[in-house]
Amino acid sequence: MLENNGQKQNDKQKHYRGQIIKALSGFYYIEENQTGQIYQTRGRGNFRQKDQSPLVGDWVEFVADNDQEGLVTAIAERKNAMIRPPVANVDLAFLVASVTDPTISPKLIDRYLVYIESLGIQPVLYLSKLDLLTENQVQDVDQLIALYQEIGYAVFTSEQDLSQSQTLKDLVQDKVVVAVGQSGVGKSTFLNEILPVGDIATAEISKRLGRGRHTTRHSELHDVFGGKFADTPGFSNISIDYIPKEDLDNYLPEFFALKGQCKFRECTHQHEPKCAVKAALAAGQISQQRYDSYVQMYQEIASAKPQYNKRK
Ligand SMILES: Nc1nc2c(ncn2[C@@H]2O[C@H](COP(=O)(O)OP(=O)(O)OP(=O)(O)O)[C@@H](O)[C@H]2O)c(=O)[nH]1
Ligand SMILES: [Mg+2]
Ligand SMILES: [Zn+2]
């Protein structure tokens, strides 16, 4: 008889497939394919040796000898895997950025967008805390929204009632979606607003209970609009130096659209003559802010120390 993680396999054990919807304290919670039942499982020891640990969003095979507990035995090949937040097979990412408290800089928004694009995931913007703006800040935020819409990104805001939004439904249906962004920007709040039963703890709720700030500590998929939407812990240090510098322009859509028209095939859009990107910048078709973000990220990548075993 085989032994896995100290658990003896026995005759009652059955084989199942499902998707990991939550990972917490060494347990993986799997929604079984046929019944939708949730099994609490552990990973098999040898995943760790292979440097392959199960992630939320993974499709897995598992064995269980009762309705509740089991053991993950295999992870299906992934379409992609985000390290931060740790979610696999992601189709769509809501970049959540607060316009105040904390005010998120456009440079940081651009950085998150490049990170998401580089993983082959479709980004969408959600701007929160518009209700806290003073009158003279409103115009700046309107410009920000217009800028990203012109590039082609869908932009949602906290001013909209999204709980019944058909546009949002069409975007989310049948997809694995993550909310990405710094801590405190309102990811859990946004998700609560669109969930059929919005009961995720947010800072406000725990303040009322006198327990101080509530911050999300694990990733979890929730059923919403016919898709799976992950609330995840916030993070702000995004490493982009795994991106080859010559590929960076692939991840800014308005640069990507023009790069074929630059005179030099390896154009970095900085010092070269007859650069279509710089021409578009001069003509006001590419924004100075996006161009500055690009140059800053390019220089950061170019000056990064070469690393081995960089994550993809
Ligand atoms: N006024 C206002 N407050 C908001 C809005 N969105 C979120 N908040 C508040 O901002 C605080 C942080 O919100 P959370 O939803 O917990 O933030 P989070 O992004 O999930 O943070 P982490 O879980 O730490 O990553 C809470 O007090 C929310 O009530 C908004 O649109 N307007
Ligand atoms: Mg949260
Ligand atoms: Zn160029």
Instruction: Report yes or no: 61 and 73 within 8 Å, Cβ to Cβ.
Output: yes
Long-range contacts (CB closer than 8 Å, 24 or more residues apart) made by 116-119: 116/180, 117/250, 117/251, 117/252, 117/253, 118/240, 118/243, 118/247, 118/250, 118/251, 119/80, 119/82, 119/90
262 in a known ligand binding site: yes
The set of residues, in sequence order, having a beta carbon less than 8 Å from that of 133 and lying 6+ positions away, is: 99, 100, 141
Find the mean pLDDT for residues 36-49.
80
Instruction: State the pLDDT at residue 36.
Output: 93
Instruction: State the pLDDT at residue 190.
Output: 94
Instruction: State the pLDDT at residue 34.
Output: 94
Find the mean pLDDT for residues 283-287.
97
**Ligand 1, atom 26: nearest CA belongs to which residue?**
203
187 lines ligand 1 (CB under 6 A): yes
275 in a known ligand binding site: yes
Q: Which domains are assigned to the chain?
A: 3-77 (2.40.50.140), 82-231 (3.40.50.300), 245-303 (1.10.40.50)
Q: Confidence class of residue 199 from pLDDT cuts 50, 70 and 90? A: low
**Residue-wise pLDDT tens digits, 140-178:** 999 999 999 999 999 999 999 999 899 999 999 999 999
**Residue-wise pLDDT tens digits, 200-243:** 666 554 444 444 456 888 889 999 999 999 998 888 888 999 99
Q: State what percent of residues in the chain have pLDDT above 90.
A: 72
> Would you state the structure tokens that stand for residue 221, as one six-digit string?
């998929």
Q: Confidence class of residue 180 from pLDDT cuts 50, 70 and 90? A: very high
Instruction: State the pLDDT at residue 77.
Output: 95
Instruction: State the pLDDT at residue 307.
Output: 59
Find the mean pLDDT for residues 1-30.
77
Q: Which among 185, 205, 199 is positioned nearest to 128, based on CA atoms?
A: 185
Given the DSSP bridges, would you call strands 27-32 and 69-75 parallel, antiparallel or unpaired?
Answer: unpaired
The CA distances from residue 237 to 181, 205, 256, in Å, are 10, 27, 25
Find the mean pLDDT for residues 72-85.
92
Whole-angstrom distance, CA of residue 124 vs CA of residue 173: 14
**Ligand 1, atom 4: nearest CA belongs to which residue?**
129
Instruction: State the pLDDT at residue 203.
Output: 55
**pLDDT, mean over the chain:** 88
Q: Confidence class of residue 244 from pLDDT cuts 50, 70 and 90? A: very high
282 lines ligand 1 (CB under 6 A): no
Q: In this structure, which ligand is nearest to the CA of 204?
A: 1
